[in-house]
């Protein structure tokens, strides 16, 4: 049973709203697609590959 107390996260970012997210939103859940994760991973990757700092 999905309610407003749930957060549904789909790693897909194209289309912006998948059927999964649409159905969850219709039931009141908060939804989020994967675009922010993609951007944050890209930024972090850029930092790691282009920094003189050593990472474990």
Count of Cβ atoms closer than 10 Å to residue 30 Cβ: 13
Peptide bond into 15 cis (omega under 30): yes
For 10-42, the three-class secondary structure string (H helix, E strand, C coil) is CCCCCCCCCHHHHHHHHCCCEEECCHHHHHHHH
Domains of the chain: which residue ranges? 7-50
Query: How much is the pLDDT for 55?
Result: 64
Interatomic CA distance for residues 24 and 8, integer angstroms: 7
| Assigned token pair, 15 | 């289309």
pLDDT at 56 over 70: no
Structure confidence by residue, pLDDT tens digits, 9-49: 999 999 999 999 999 999 999 999 999 999 999 999 999 89
Q: What is the pLDDT of residue 54?
A: 72
Residue 14 or 56, more confident: 14
């Amino acid at each position: 049973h999905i309610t407003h107390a749930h957060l549904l996260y789909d790693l897909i970012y194209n289309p912006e709203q998948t059927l999964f997210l649409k159905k969850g939103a219709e039931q009141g859940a908060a939804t989020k697609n994967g675009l922010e994760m993609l951007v944050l991973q890209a930024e972090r990757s850029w930092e790691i590959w282009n920094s003189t700092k050593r990472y474990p």
